[in-house]
Structures are given as structure tokens and as C-alpha cells.
Structure 1
């Protein structure tokens, strides 16, 4: 990725996706819009595991570009939250739509791992947790973030599956 000062305020320089600050501002604004318009939204946490022995420059950037291809709507948002977590905000979407997006992301990662595996001996493991909710005035936005983080942690501990969807009530 070519570094641009124009994007430096809201982009992660390593991956090119939005940074946490920008994501939180937009997600909060969308949360309040969804309250007014009685629309549901989804928050996804993606945790790719790239072993530190893999010496492939830009691997995380290439990986996230593939994930972004699975998200077809330009209104949806992808951001790097920290070194190990990415957040995806899907707006005006229900549980069925979120499930479809999860499946598309899984297929893109599967394809990425097949292509990457042809040239290298490793692959990228991951957890992908999603929570769908209908924002309401008495529902705290932090609960959604806590719930999806908890679900992501449960997936990491379980290790028998790498994707889960939950409805926050």
C-alpha cells in the first residue's frame, strides 16, 4: 500500500482499512441513526492468526483486501481495532443477511488460504464472531461490543468452529 497523508487520519497504515477511532465515530453515528429508523445492524469481530514465523510482507494487507471483497455494500465498514482484531460494521442488515455475509467471508478466506498455500507452507486461521441487534434508546452500545468480544473469545477457546452468530436482545 502506498502511504498517503490524505488518508493518514482515518486509515491503518499496515492494512489500509479504517482505524479504530474512525470506526467508532461512524459506528456510533450509525447506531443513533438506526435507533431513529428502527433498523438492525451487525457488529463482527475478525481475528486472523498469522504466526510470527511467517515472513511474508503485506500478508495482513492482502488478507484484509480479500475479506473486504466479501463485503459487497459500500456502506459497510472494516477497521483494525488492534494488532489481533478487526471490526466490521454491517448496517441495515438482519440476521439472515449477516449469515450470508459470514458465509461469503469464510469462502473468501478459504480461497485466500488455498492460493496462499500453493506458494507457502502456512495458512491463516481465524475466528469470526457476529452479533446482530436492533438498537434502542435504553440499549447501551457498549453491550454490543462486549457481546461480540465475548463470543469471539468463546470461539477462540472452543477451536472446533471458527464462526458464530448471535442475536443481541
Structure 2
């Protein structure tokens, strides 16, 4: 990937997706807009589970490319939170819409895993956790991030996406 100074403030240099700072700013703004408009939103956490993937940025680039390909709405937001964790913000969505996006992401990542297995002899694994929420004055946005990260980490070797509703 060729580094671009025009994107340096809000893009992750390895993958080209949004960085944590930009994602948090947008998510916070959207949280309060959804609170005002009484709309639901979802936060997905994705964690690739391939040994040595962190040392191979091109794999993370392919990983994020597949996720990006499954996000069809321009308002859906993908970001890298740290070395092993990615977040997707789905705004103005419901449980069915969130499940549809999870299915598209799963399909893309399964296809990528199959291609990777054919070329390298080893599969590619990942975890997904999703939190669906209608913002309220009782729930803070931080609670959604804590819950999603906890679910993604606790998933262990479970491959099935975990989706919960945060009230």
C-alpha cells in the first residue's frame, strides 16, 4: 500500500481502514444522533486468529479488504482498534440488518480462509462479537465497547458470531 499524507490523520497505515481515534469520534457523534432520533446501532468486533498474521501486514490488508467488501452501505464504518482487533460500526440498523451484515462478513472471511488454505496449507480463523443497542441516557457508549470486546475475547475458539442486545 502506498502511504498517502492526505489520509495520515484518520487511516491505519498498514491496512488503510480508519484508525481508532477517528472511529471513536464518529461513533460518539453517531451515538448521540441515534439517542436523539431513537434509532438503533450495532458495534461489531472482529479478531483474526492466524499465527504470525500481525507480522504479515498484507494478510491484515486482505482481511480488512474482505470485511470492507461485505459492507454495502457507505455509513458502515470499519476501523483497526489495535494490533489484533477491528471494529465495525453499523448505524441506523436493527437485529435483522446486523445479522445480515454478520452473514456477509462470515461468507467473505470463509471464502478468504479457503483461498488461504489452498495456497498455504493452513486455514484462517477469526472471532466476531456484535452488540446491538438503542442508545439511552442510562447506557454510555463505553459500555458497548467493553461488552463487545469482552464477548470477542471470551469467545475462545467459538467460531459462531455472538450477538447480544445491550439495554
* TM, length-normalised to structure 1: 0.94
2:67 aligned residue: 67
Q: Structure 1: 5+ residue runs without aligned partners?
A: none
Cα distance in 2 for residues equivalent to 1:121 and 1:112: 13
Secondary structure in structure 2 of the residue aligned to 1:58: helix
1:163 aligned residue: 161
- Give matches, 1:14-163, under 5 Å: 14-52=14-52, 58-156=58-156, 159-163=157-161
Cα distance in 2 for residues equivalent to 1:25 and 1:56: 28
Cα distance 1:123–1:54, how it changes in 2: closer, same or farther (>3 A)? Answer: farther
CA RMSD of aligned residues (A): 1.5
Shifted more, 16-25 versus 137-146: the winner is 137-146
Cα distance 1:98–1:143, how it changes in 2: closer, same or farther (>3 A)? Answer: same
1:118-157 deviation digits (Å, cap 9, x = unpaired): 211222211000000000122111111111111112212x
Cα distance 1:168–1:57, how it changes in 2: closer, same or farther (>3 A)? Answer: closer
Cα distance in 2 for residues equivalent to 1:126 and 1:49: 5
Cα distance in 1 for residues equivalent to 2:57 and 2:158: 29
Cα distance in 2 for residues equivalent to 1:66 and 1:29: 26
